Amino acid sequence: MQFDIITIFPKIFDSYLKESFIKKAQENGLIKIRIHNLRDFTTDKHKTVDDRPYGGGLGMVLKVEPIFKAIETIKRKNRKTKKQKVILFTPRGKKFNQRMAYKLSKLDRIITICGRYEGVDERVAKYIADMELSIGDYDLMGGELPAMVVIETIARLIPGVLGKPELLKERITKEKGFIEYPQYTRPPKFYPKGKFRRARPEVWKVPKVLLSGHHKKIEEWRKKHQKVIEK
């Protein structure tokens, strides 16, 4: 899968793309991530990407022309790609969830548009984007963080990205969604010391059933304490 990210702050992604599974997935050819500087698609000497909104407003709005040119350029260079979508990140968009991640993971390419300032010219949402997405009921300074969230959520669903297929199979069901349950590791007993620790309990213990080695009881405990994140 290929991810194309359109942004006016391309360096924001530098450290994120060079760490952990995302880095390995790129090195192994499982995903491709390309960052496109929106200013490269302007025509004036000042590389203007924003302007004042008609009717007045609190801030500047990203212009439609450079975004249109960026999308056209990306698609023109990849004409054979059929299964692709253009996503615009906006607080007014549909809330991103695991169900969407599953559907989007079946695509060949995802092009994301990262808004900034007071927003993006509405004609981008109306005529260019295939989807408008939000990652939560709050406002951010731009779409770069949502782009990272979407890329990581989708990338981990691509076979081979996590390294072990069973990591996905055992925690994800098509019928229910994404399954989470409490997890513990060594030591079995932890004695917290320090000024800021909670007064009680004096010992933080791992539930006995997880130390028992009884697989059936462990599975029952996990089902009892699991939380299903709906698709």
Does the pLDDT of residue 74 top 80, yes or no? yes
- CATH architecture, domain defined by 2-155: 3-Layer(aba) Sandwich (3.40)
**80 falls in which pLDDT band (50, 70, 90)?**
confident
Q: How far, in Å, CA of 204 to CA of 190, rounded?
A: 5
Binding residues for S-adenosyl-L-methionine: 115
User: How large is the average pLDDT for residues 176-184?
Assistant: 80
Q: How far, in Å, CA of 6 to CA of 116, rounded?
A: 11
CATH number of 171-230: 1.10.1270
Q: How far, in Å, CA of 7 to CA of 5, rounded?
A: 6
Among candidate residues 157, 156, 149, the one with its CA nearest the CA of residue 133: 149
**For residue 195, what pLDDT is reported?**
72
Q: How far, in Å, CA of 67 to CA of 41, rounded?
A: 8
Q: How far, in Å, CA of 25 to CA of 41, rounded?
A: 29
User: How large is the average pLDDT for residues 64-77?
Assistant: 96
Does the pLDDT of residue 200 top 80, yes or no? no
Cross-strand partners of 88 = 113, 132
Looking at 50-59, 106-115, 120-129, 221-230, which range is the least confident one? 221-230
Does the pLDDT of residue 171 top 60, yes or no? no
Greater confidence (230 vs 106) lies with: 106
Cross-strand partners of 227 = 180
In 117-226, the DSSP E strands lie at 119-120, 131-134, 172-173, 177-180, 189-190, 204-205
**Per residue in 124-157, pLDDT tens?**
999 999 999 999 999 999 999 999 999 999 999 9
Does the pLDDT of residue 173 top 60, yes or no? no
**For residue 10, what pLDDT is reported?**
97
**For residue 191, what pLDDT is reported?**
87
Sequence spans of domains, the chain: 2-155, 171-230
Residues 6+ apart with CB under 8 A from 175: none
**For residue 5, what pLDDT is reported?**
98
- CA atoms within 13 A of residue 226's CA, in its CB half-sphere: 19
